[in-house]
Amino acid sequence: MHSSPFTLHFEQPVLEVRGLTKIFPGGTRALDDVSVSVPDGQFVVVIGLSGAGKSTFLRCINRLLEPTSGRVILDGEEVTAASLKRLRQIRRQIGMIFQQFNLIKRESVLINVLAGALGSAHLLHSLIGYWPKADVERAMANLERVGIAEKAFQRADTLSGGQQQRVAIARTLMQEPRLLLADEPVASLDPATSHSVMRYVEQINREDGITVICNLHFLSLARRYADRVLAFRAGQLVADLPPEAIDGAKFREIYGEDAVEVEVA
């Protein structure tokens, strides 16, 4: 639907990446001249071997890592050219979830969700821990959406992995983002839990129209959730194709000749 030929030419892409390159101080070329354009509402899955540059790609988009060269453009604005102050405003548009969930372990679930609203919160109020009623209500509603409202006052580290990732999703929902970056969000979860978490990601993509770029290890998950698959190899974008187009030959091209596909239930 989003990639229909009629809208494609008129609609501005949410994300435009041009010639993105990241060379680490050690000399590792983790991203090598990557260009890609992501239309609004697309669910993009990034695959590739460990070390292929998937995480680096996501981190360069919101500049958790500074790219060595190239441009990242979000909704027509160049992220890579933004001042630090402007970058903070742009980051509010980009949610991010991580393999290790990255919650504040000793704080309550509710505080963790509220933290997603820090970018728009009153600085002093947030520093003394005061949250407006509206934010708290929104946080509870978002917890409701990921099905763990009853855990709101529990410490975050008392939750299971799947529950923690749902808290992280609720946290990004507080940002009401345009784009969600997910860096292997289910890599530390069992297969069944993986699907339950991925379904929440899919849900916010379909219902809220939030564009998703998600790194995944398992091709089966990619086939199940992706509108489009980007494959990285040694920092280069080697394939950009619909999920059903990944056949055995493509698979070996991406993962190497010796690779065997593993299914996730």
Partner 1 sequence: MARVEARPLARPPMHSFPSSQARRVRLAIVLAALVVAHVVGWQMAKINIPALIVGLPNMRHIVLGLLQPDAFEPIRDVTKVESELTILPAGSPVPAESGRRTVGTPGGPQATVQPAQVRPGQPVYVQGSGWPAGKKGEVLLAASYGGRPRSAGAFTVAPDGTINHAFYAPASEGAFDLVVQVVTPRFGWRPTETLLLSLRLMVETLFLALMGTSLAIVFTLPLSFLGARNLMGKTRVGRAIYYVTRTVFNLLRSIEVVIIVTIMAVVVGIGSFAGVLAIVVHSIGALGKLYSEAIESIDPGPIEAISATGAHPLQVIRYAVVPQVIPEFLSFTLYRMDINVRMSTIVGLVGGGGIGFILTQYINLLQWNQAGTAIWLIAIAVTAIDYLSAWLREKIV
Ligand X SMILES: Nc1ncnc2c1ncn2[C@@H]1O[C@H](COP(=O)(O)OP(=O)(O)OP(=O)(O)O)[C@@H](O)[C@H]1O
Distances (CA, A) of 16 to 4, 42, 68, 181, 191: 18, 13, 17, 14, 32
- Residue 98 binds: one of partner 1, ligand X, Mg ion, none (C-beta under 5 to 8 A by kind): partner 1
Residue 97 binds to ligand X (criterion: CB under 6 A):
no
Residues 30-49 that bind ligand X (CB under 6 A): 30, 48
Token duo for residue 30? 């983790």
Residue 56 binds to Mg ion (criterion: CB under 5 A):
no
Look at residue 200 and give its three-state secondary structure: helix
- Residue 171 binds: one of ligand X, Mg ion, partner 1, none (C-beta under 5 to 8 A by kind): partner 1
d(CA 212, CA 201): 8
- Residue 115 binds: one of ligand X, Mg ion, partner 1, none (C-beta under 5 to 8 A by kind): partner 1
Residues that bind ligand X (rule: CB under 6 A) add up to a total of: 12
Residue 55 binds to Mg ion (criterion: CB under 5 A):
yes
Query: What pairing do the DSSP bridges indicate for beta strands 179-183 and 211-215?
Result: parallel
In the complex, which residues of this chain contact partner 1 (CB under 8 A)? 62, 64, 88-92, 94-96, 98, 100-107, 111, 115-121, 123, 126-127, 168, 171-172, 174-175, 181
Pick one of 16, 36, 45, 56: the residue that binds ligand X (CB under 6 A): 56
Chain centroid to Cα 192, Å, comes to 20
Pick one of 17, 32, 55, 101: the residue that binds ligand X (CB under 6 A): 55
Residue 62 binds to ligand X (criterion: CB under 6 A):
no
Paired with 218 in beta bridges are none
Write the DSSP string, 48-88: E-TTSSHHHHHHHHTTSS--SEEEEEETTEEGGG--HHHHH
- Residue 48 binds: one of partner 1, ligand X, Mg ion, none (C-beta under 5 to 8 A by kind): ligand X
Residues that bind ligand X (CB under 6 A): 24, 26, 28, 30, 48, 50-56
